[in-house]
Amino acid sequence: MKHRPLPHLAEALERRAEQNLLRVPPPRLASSRTFCANDYLGLAERPLSETAATAPGGAGASRLVCGDTDAHGVLEGALATWIGLPKALVFASGYAANVGTLATLLQPSDVVFSDRANHASLIDGMRLAKAQVVPYAHNDLAALESAMTDHAPGPNGRRWVVTESYFSMDGDGPDLPPLRALCDETSSLLVLDEAHAIGVFGAEGRGLADAKGIAPDVFLGTLGKAIGAQGAFVAGAPELIAYLWNTARSFVFSTGMSPALALHAADNVRRVRAGDALRERLHRNTARLREGMQRLGCTIHGHGPIVPWVIGEESAALERARALLEAGFHAQAIRPPTVPAGGARLRITTSAAHDPSDVDAFLAALEKVLSR
Ligand SMILES: *Cc1c(COP(=O)(O)O)cnc(C)c1O
């Protein structure tokens, strides 16, 4: 077939390139040299286990048609037990989970308060819903409270608060107990995206809500980060999960997760729960990296294995990333619209897959790059 050129797209891409905003997949390096993965516990490199490989590779249909298998039940049972909530439902990805869940839960007369740094999948889910969306300053509970006073829901409407517990690009999060208290005082429902927190923080890696002793109304977790597989889940009350089975369009109108992958993810959940040694290794590497970067004079933010080094200009961030790549290390430059304009950064992450000597080698390369 002879392709038909699309000059307006070629022009748009040229404009992006001129602004240093063109995106292309970088080369994949060994995990010892990769400092931007979300594979916090080093589980992503595991090939499918033998048990997983006995299950069908494909579901064959949406789970509501004929794609529902025992493997899905095994994974959802394991997730609900781990997180400590009654039920869980798996989606093909975190993007699909957030878009489908928010689009169906938020009603036209509702008001949803959204942290300004929320992930694109949360933003897109809120855009699909007809509710009024009120963004508030990142992690700022006083700003949230005053936004709540200014924006009342419509007749029979509800208030919702949507936030991540550990922000993917900032390595920080809201103070959860006062946030939960504010939600209770204002009869607001709390949607908490723990994509980067599960596996990493808390007992058995249950995440920050559990670690801080609060329960969100809607819990979102991904399987593609510390769990090292692919997919995502929502956990909560039985009626929440039954409602999503019926109404979340990204679930209903989408092929069920691969059963083999579901068993693989369930196996990895077992490893994550028993993974205190991996978490200790991760947090030791994190401390080493953060101390080293501070010693080199880098302005870094947050806490934990996501280490944002905010540089500002897109071109400067790209240049730093390019120089590190020349030195054999991959730390991805993150540019708008993933982060706000002027907030280009290197988002550096550590993993239990790193040896302390890998962290030292990265710091040595960074020191050279900084002295250029
Ligand atoms: C990565 C991420 C998602 C999307 O998850 P995928 O499974 O990669 O689609 C959702 N929310 C947050 C906060 C994320 O960082």
pLDDT in tens, 58-100: 999 999 999 999 999 999 999 999 999 999 999 999 999 999 9
User: What's the confidence (pLDDT) of residue 253?
Assistant: 98
Is the preceding peptide bond at 27 cis, omega within 30 degrees of 0? no
User: What's the confidence (pLDDT) of residue 222?
Assistant: 98
User: What's the confidence (pLDDT) of residue 264?
Assistant: 98
Among 72, 87, 225, 330, which one carries the catalytic annotation? Answer: 225
Whether 250 is in the pocket of ligand 1, judged by its Cβ within 6 Å, is no
Q: Comparing C-alpha atoms, which of 100, 139, 97, 101 is closest to residue 118? A: 139
Between the CA of 220 and the centroid of ligand 1 the distance, in Å, is 9
Between the CA of 312 and the centroid of ligand 1 the distance, in Å, is 24
Query: Residues in the chain with pLDDT < 70?
Result: none
User: What's the confidence (pLDDT) of residue 294?
Assistant: 97
Ligand 1: which of 40, 119, 123 to mutate, judged by most atoms within 8 Å of the beta carbon?
119
Ligand 1: which of 90, 91, 95, 251 to mutate, judged by most atoms within 8 Å of the beta carbon?
95
User: What's the confidence (pLDDT) of residue 328?
Assistant: 96
| Sign of torsion over alpha carbons 67, 70, 74, 80 | positive
> What would the pLDDT profile of 191-246 be if each residue is shown by its tens digit?
999 999 999 999 999 999 999 999 999 999 999 999 999 999 999 999 999 999 99
Whether 224 is in the pocket of ligand 1, judged by its Cβ within 6 Å, is yes
Whether 232 is in the pocket of ligand 1, judged by its Cβ within 6 Å, is yes
- Within the chain, residue ranges assigned H as helices are 7-18, 50-54, 70-83, 94-105, 120-128, 141-150, 176-185, 208-212, 238-247, 249-252, 259-273, 276-295, 314-326, 356-370
Partners of residue 115 on adjacent β-strands: 136
Whether 286 is in the pocket of ligand 1, judged by its Cβ within 6 Å, is no
At a CB cut-off of 8 Å and minimum separation 6, what does 74 contact?
262, 263, 266
Give the 3-state secondary structure of residue 205: helix
3-state secondary structure string across 156-198: CCCEEEEEECCCCCCCCCCCHHHHHHHHHHCCEEEEEECCCCC
Does residue 14 have an active-site annotation?
Answer: no
For ligand 1, atom 10, the nearest C-alpha belongs to: 94
Among 76, 115, 193, 194, which one carries the catalytic annotation? Answer: 193
User: What's the confidence (pLDDT) of residue 336?
Assistant: 86
Partners of residue 344 on adjacent β-strands: 312
Q: Comparing C-alpha atoms, which of 280, 270, 298, 266 is closest to residue 356? A: 280
User: What's the confidence (pLDDT) of residue 23?
Assistant: 86
Count the Cβ atoms, other than its own, within 10 Å of residue 165: 26
